[in-house]
Amino acid sequence: MPLNFLSTPIDYLNGVGPQRAKLLKSELHIHTYGDLANLFPNRYIDRTKYYKVSQLVEEAAQVQVIGKIVNLKTVGSAKSERLVATFTDGTGVMELVWFRAQKHFRESVKINEPYVAFGKVARYGATYSMAHPDLELLRDHRARKHSAMTPVYPSTEMLAKRKITNTYIVKLMRRLFDEIQNAFVETLPENILKELQLLDKNRSMRNAHFPESAAYLQAALYRLKFEELFYIQMELLMQNRIRKTKIKGFVFDQVGERFNDFYENHLPFELTGAQKRVVREIRRDMGTGAHMNRLLQGDVGSGKTIVAVLTCLLAIDNGFQACIMAPTEILAQQHYAGVQELLEKTGLKVALLTGSVKKKDRTIIHEQLEDGSLHILIGTHALIEPKVQFKNLGVAVVDEQHRFGVAQRAKLWKKNSLPPHVLVMTATPIPRTLAMSLYGDLDISVIDELPPGRKEIKTVHRYDKNRLSVFNFIRDEIELGRQIYIVYPLIEESEKLDYKDLQDGYESIVREFPSPQYQVSIVHGRMKPEDKDFEMQRFVEGKTQIMVATTVIEVGVNVPNASVMIIESAERFGLSQLHQLRGRVGRGAEQSYCILMTGHKLSSDSKTRLQTMCETSDGFKIAEVDLKLRGPGDIMGTRQSGVMELRVADIVRDNEILALSRKRAQELLSQDPTISLPVNANVARVMRFLQNKKGIWKYIS
């Protein structure tokens, strides 16, 4: 199929028509022949197997039964009215039920004629029932040419309401394939097809929709998944290559006085081997003259901030300024306090710019930025405002970068004639498979080693019935001079959700730990910023022993004296959030604890999350489990372009294919950087096609 054939409007396909075309476009985003060809089935049903009524079991998936309708009657009244058919095959009796379109079925169903009924069965008492079955006369069923595996396509409520059924989509797909025949053009190089023993494009597309057998279906899907992931990796690797060869960056060839003085005289602790390795990678990047775009992954407490500071010092030694951008005011303030403390004896000027900085102070910051006397600016989105002009911004560090939009980051890059070197940091460990897809165009550094002396946080799961013993444990820890976090998932009671709420929890804690012997802080997202800061500051200064809070303390609080994190209704939280919350303790020299409190009713996913938290504190292992449980779109906290738009591949289940596709793409580009060799003509053609489109993922297959 010529690539431009993909753009033929779906309206031209026989059997569509204007109304159906409109629905296909709005509900399934099918505008063209290509969109329809790339609407892959969610699953497949084996229509070669037939069951007897006597063989039915309630747990069975959809089944098909051959039998006769011997009776038809209307049951119930008004809203509960339904049409019920008595269906028998000689081994037993079951019911076929219709709640909608009763008139149509009453008039069209033939009594005592052999039918094939297909659908999901449920049991009511001793009788099996099948609601809204696919019903086909046996003679028509046998005459119809059908695949061993019937595809089941994505649908929506609106399509079902408008009678655009799976049967209709299957017919439409058959018409499309009959019309285009074997017109798909091969997209992969001959050598890859041979070496990996992949099916050709035409056979793969046909078998993905109408499998010749289960084996051919697997082979077709493998080939299409490889193709989809291969071209995503080609695009990402080429972007990386272009950035390194075409986009110029400032050359930081000096490791000068500021860096060396700080490293030798003011570094408060010995760097870990992982931190040293990452600093070397950053120095190498910034010394080449190419633009650095590096992702720094490090678990909670792994020491990313010191790496960011050393990166800023490299820029300053080469006559440039640096900035650190954080997603929240609390986190920006924490970075500012930490960096200010580290650099206080160096004579370097550091400033904080957030939305709450007064106009008078803001004006001074703007002036010092423009005349170059301000070395490092730390702040929130306020850094990207048009008024903020640097004299010469050399490096931009972005923390928890997935919380910033692409447009916001782009504004920061445009603060100079040449884009500043970029270091993006995240404390959310990203599994390798996801990093390969989301950040394949970035270079990735990992701090996979905690600073020496850090004790592993002991994590336990306790039920509500153990609450008294947990309270006794809190008293013992406070007696030792420690502080406690207690985190709740909700601010107020919800009628729909039976979980502990913050206000109720706060009141019970105050009753259990009365003043003046104990002092309790409360912090949540609906408080005024100044009230929140006041309460947090009291806890930081040790004036309160217990902090009752919502997840606002997930980032931005560093209290080395806090040794216990209690998470109420822990089953309500995702794994990465539980891990982030746990990271609020364990920052001092004392043994720290995380207690996960839940009720007794737990889903299997909840049990897996709690067990994972108790068994490991390795953020990357936790992220792998989280990815399997939640899928790629949610793990990043926001829907990421591409991850959710894959047509046929799944980056969690298909991580081996992803790794293979990246390896093959890397090999091809190392041998043929411009994709100009005749052997790669297919790849060159597809890449030209993709580069004319705004986003690559929708057009891969």
Is the domain of 515 the same as that of 598?
yes
Residue 188 resides in a domain: no
Residue 250 resides in a domain: no
> Are 87 and 69 spatial neighbours (Cβ–Cβ below 8 Å)?
yes
Number of domains in the chain: 5
> Are 446 and 298 spatial neighbours (Cβ–Cβ below 8 Å)?
yes
**Residue 405's pLDDT is what?**
52
- The strand pair at 134-137 and 562-567 is best described as unpaired
Is the domain of 264 the same as that of 327?
yes
The number of beta carbons lying within 10 Å of the beta carbon of residue 293 is 22
Buried-state track 7-30, b at ≥16 Cβ within 10 A, e below 16: ebebeebeebeeebbebbbebbeb
Residue 104 resides in a domain: yes
Residue 69 resides in a domain: yes
In the numeric block, the tokens 């290509």 are attached to 34
Is the domain of 492 the same as that of 549?
yes
> Minimal CA–CA distance to 391: which of 324, 332, 310, 319?
319
Is the domain of 18 the same as that of 52?
no
In the numeric block, the tokens 């200064």 are attached to 541
Please state, in angstroms and rounded to a whole number, the distance separating the CA atoms of residues 382 and 489. Answer: 29
**Residue 538 neighbours by CB under 8 Å, 6+ apart:** 519, 521, 544
Is the domain of 353 the same as that of 391?
yes
The number of beta carbons lying within 10 Å of the beta carbon of residue 653 is 12
What is the tally of helices (H) and strands (E) in the chain? Answer: 25, 22
Q: Provide the CATH number for the domain around residue 141.
A: 2.40.50.140
Tens-digit pLDDT profile for residues 340-396: 999 998 999 999 999 888 999 999 999 999 999 999 999 988 888 888 899 999 999
**Residue 254's pLDDT is what?**
83
Is the domain of 109 the same as that of 28?
no
Which structural domain, as residue segments, surrounds residue 104? 48-145
Structure tokens at 594: 């995380």
In the numeric block, the tokens 């779906």 are attached to 10
> Minimal CA–CA distance to 547: which of 568, 565, 569, 570?
565
> Where does a domain end: 561, 594, 616?
616
> Minimal CA–CA distance to 309: which of 364, 361, 284, 346?
346
**Residue 386's pLDDT is what?**
85
Is the domain of 608 the same as that of 480?
yes
Is the domain of 694 the same as that of 595?
no
Is the domain of 492 the same as that of 566?
yes
Is the domain of 11 the same as that of 83?
no
What is the mean pLDDT, run by run of 10 residues, along the chain of 701 residues?
Answer: 68 89 91 91 83 83 89 84 92 90 83 91 87 88 71 87 86 90 88 96 94 90 95 86 78 89 89 93 89 84 89 95 88 88 92 90 93 94 87 89 56 73 82 67 80 84 93 95 90 51 86 93 82 86 92 67 93 87 84 94 91 89 80 46 65 83 94 94 90 51 31
**Residue 145's pLDDT is what?**
59
Helix, strand, coil % in the chain, rounded to nearest 5: 45, 20, 35
**Residue 217's pLDDT is what?**
92
**Residue 553's pLDDT is what?**
67
> Where does a domain end: 408, 426, 444?
426
Q: Output the pTM of the full model.
A: 0.65
Residue 320's φ and ψ, nearest 5 degrees, are -120, 170
Is the domain of 121 the same as that of 165?
no
DSSP label at 243? Answer: H
Structure tokens at 449: 């080693």
Q: Provide the CATH number for the domain around residue 493.
A: 3.40.50.300
> Minimal CA–CA distance to 250: which of 422, 409, 418?
418
Residue 108 resides in a domain: yes
Q: CA end-to-end span of the chain, whole Å?
A: 12
Structure tokens at 267: 């570094």
Residue 638 resides in a domain: no
Residue 30 resides in a domain: yes
> Minimal CA–CA distance to 587: which of 681, 483, 669, 514?
483
> Are 594 and 477 spatial neighbours (Cβ–Cβ below 8 Å)?
no
Residue 446's φ and ψ, nearest 5 degrees, are -130, 130
Is the domain of 336 the same as that of 477?
no
Residue 397 resides in a domain: yes
> Are 490 and 499 spatial neighbours (Cβ–Cβ below 8 Å)?
yes
Report the SS3 class of residue 571: helix
Report the SS3 class of residue 350: strand
Structure tokens at 296: 């720094």
Q: Provide the CATH number for the domain around residue 170.
A: 1.10.150
